């Protein structure tokens, strides 16, 4: 049950509503409480603090006390069981649900909530049907697919309704995505999601349309033609960052698929067959062929793929680029992951696929090399690095280069870091496990002035 605020008519009505809620939900007294200036136990501030910061209460019934000036960010439902005649007061009341809260703080009081992307108004008395406010939501076209709205934008045919809907969806996405995905989006977009959303919302404001139409009309009275022109110019200007950026449009659609799950609560499911769950080789071939086609199609667009198409070793992909690639392929309709790709290749030709089912992110390097025919066998990335490490040590021994026991211990730590991070630099010595052994200063003491050259050599020889 989301945190819910119910506005009752008076104190007596609030008592009745609380009692009914407790009976209907079958929960204890902590589940639903009344918080008014006449709260029976005389501790409204304590109850309010619990509503803001604790799991219980889930539902609070009030009259006026929480209507204005009270910031309870986790509220996701605002319910009206009383009428309101003041427009300003009504907007303050619904503002209780409009507070923004980050994912971590929300999950502290509502563990299964995820992100707060919107709040819901439950109107039992018709207050939203009055002329107090324009109650139309920002999302004007909820049934129109995102792909169609973006197509209208790219074709220069976007309407005010299109922009309003896109602004609502963009704001919702901004609340859902992870920090890494947000950084990726804003890198592609060239600005923050918040700034783009604000510009789009402003482009749907009737008052701004009229002001722009007055400016277009000059000394004359603005006509309908001036107003239409003003709307069109403001809309096209607001969506220009989207219209001119096909990469962002595609990324937006990919992210929407990865964060949105459609749940059918109406249709009745029918069990057709029951048996062991198996994935046939036909599935595996389709899955891997699609992955190979994806690599070919995006070889010039995705930075991490350029190395695999004969880019010199100094431009080999970084861990961040491989991580970004892994996120990109998982957002596709095929939802490629290292685990499923490895399983698919094993189903096609198990004799060429080695290692356990346990995968790490850097195994994606081995998968790509195998998919493109750069490797004859699919071997876990850790084993590839270990084999190259042992070969490198043997070469050093044959060349007469000796390492002390302490140097070997540091070299082993460097090898383990390369397995999980695809590279090493002096900055990495500030982190575990190097920091626990003395960090960069100790490494310089162990290897001397040749440390920088040694790191470059290991990056070149061990990283695939």
- Residue 249 near residue 169 (C-beta atoms within 8 A): no
Give the pair of three-digit tokens for residue 305.
Answer: 């793929």
Cα(146)–Cα(143) distance, integer angstroms: 9
CB distance 51 to 57 below 8 Å: yes
Q: How many other CB atoms are there within 10 angstroms of residue 90's CB atom?
A: 21
In degrees and rounded to multiples of 5, residue 4 shows phi and psi of -130, 135
3-class secondary-structure state, position 122 = strand
How many other CB atoms are found less than 10 A from the CB of residue 220?
Answer: 9
Rounded Cα distance between 79 and 98, Å, is 13
CATH of the structural domain 4-129, one choice from 3.40.50.2300, 3.40.50.300, 3.40.630.30, 3.30.420.40:
3.40.50.300
Rounded to the nearest angstrom, the gap between the alpha carbon of residue 359 and the centroid of all alpha carbons in its chain is 23
How many Å apart are CA 299 and CA 292, to the nearest integer? 10
> Domain boundaries in the chain?
4-129, 146-259, 281-379, 383-462
Residues 6+ apart with CB under 8 A from 235: 158, 159, 160, 162, 163, 203, 204
- The predicted model scores a pTM of 0.45
Show the tokens assigned to 287.
């899955």
Laid out side by side, the sheet with 77-80 consists of 32-34, 59-62, 4-7, 77-80, 120-123
Pair of tokens at residue 160: 């005010």
CA distance 197 to 100: 15
In contact, 426 and 440? CB cutoff 8 Å: yes
Per-residue pLDDT of the chain (464 residues; tens, 9 = 90+): 999 999 998 888 999 999 999 999 988 888 999 987 666 555 777 888 888 888 999 999 988 766 555 678 899 999 999 887 766 567 778 878 888 888 888 888 998 888 888 899 999 998 887 765 544 555 666 778 888 999 989 888 888 888 888 988 888 888 778 887 888 888 898 998 888 988 888 888 877 887 888 888 887 777 888 888 988 999 999 999 999 999 999 888 888 877 665 555 556 667 666 554 455 557 888 888 889 898 888 877 777 776 776 554 446 677 778 888 888 888 787 888 888 888 888 888 888 888 766 677 888 888 888 888 888 888 888 888 999 999 999 999 999 989 999 999 999 999 999 888 888 888 889 888 888 888 999 999 999 989 999 998 998 888 85
């Amino acid at each position: 049950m989301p945190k819910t605020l119910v506005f009752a008519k008076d104190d007596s009505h609030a008592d009745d509503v609380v009692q009914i809620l407790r009976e209907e939900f079958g929960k204890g007294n902590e589940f639903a409480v009344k918080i008014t200036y006449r709260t029976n136990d005389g501790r409204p501030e304590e109850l309010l603090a619990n509503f803001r910061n604790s799991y219980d209460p889930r539902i609070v019934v009030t009259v006026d006390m929480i209507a204005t000036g009270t910031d309870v960010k986790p509220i996701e439902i605002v319910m009206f069981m009383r009428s309101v005649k003041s427009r300003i007061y009504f907007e303050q009341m619904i503002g209780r649900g409009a507070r923004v809260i980050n994912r971590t703080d929300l999950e502290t009081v509502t563990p299964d909530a995820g992100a707060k992307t919107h709040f819901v108004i439950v109107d039992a008395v018709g207050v939203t049907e009055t002329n107090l406010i324009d109650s139309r939501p920002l999302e004007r076209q909820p049934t129109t697919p995102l792909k169609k709205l973006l197509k209208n934008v790219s074709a220069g045919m976007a309407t005010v309704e299109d922009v309003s809907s896109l602004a609502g969806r963009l704001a919702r996405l901004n609340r859902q995505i992870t920090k890494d995905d947000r950084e990726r989006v804003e890198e592609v977009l060239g600005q923050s999601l918040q700034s783009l959303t604000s510009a789009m919302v402003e482009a749907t404001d009737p008052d701004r349309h009229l002001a722009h139409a007055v400016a277009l009309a000059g000394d004359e009275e603005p006509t309908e033609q001036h107003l239409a022109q003003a709307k069109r110019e403001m809309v096209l200007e607001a969506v220009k960052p989207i219209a001119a950026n096909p990469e962002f449009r595609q990324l937006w659609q990919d992210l929407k698929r990865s964060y949105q799950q459609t749940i059918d609560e109406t249709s009745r499911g029918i069990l057709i067959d029951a048996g062991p769950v198996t994935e046939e080789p036909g599935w595996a071939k389709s899955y891997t062929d699609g992955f190979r086609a994806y690599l070919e199609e995006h070889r010039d667009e995705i930075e991490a793929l350029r190395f695999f198409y004969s880019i010199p070793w100094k431009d080999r992909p970084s861990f961040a680029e491989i991580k970004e690639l892994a996120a990109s392929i998982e957002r596709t309709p095929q939802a490629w992951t290292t685990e499923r790709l490895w399983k698919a290749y094993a189903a096609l030709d198990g004799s060429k696929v080695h290692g356990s089912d346990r995968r790490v992110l850097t195994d994606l390097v081995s998968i790509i090399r195998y998919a493109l025919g750069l490797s004859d066998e699919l071997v876990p990335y850790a084993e590839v690095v270990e084999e190259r490490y042992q070969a490198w040590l043997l070469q050093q021994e044959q060349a007469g280069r000796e390492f002390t026991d302490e140097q070997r211990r540091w070299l082993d730590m460097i090898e383990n870091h390369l397995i999980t991070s695809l590279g090493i630099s002096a900055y990495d010595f500030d982190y575990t496990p190097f920091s626990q052994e003395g960090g960069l200063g100790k490494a310089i003491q162990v290897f001397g002035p040749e440390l920088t050259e040694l790191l470059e050599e290991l990056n070149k020889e061990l990283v695939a």
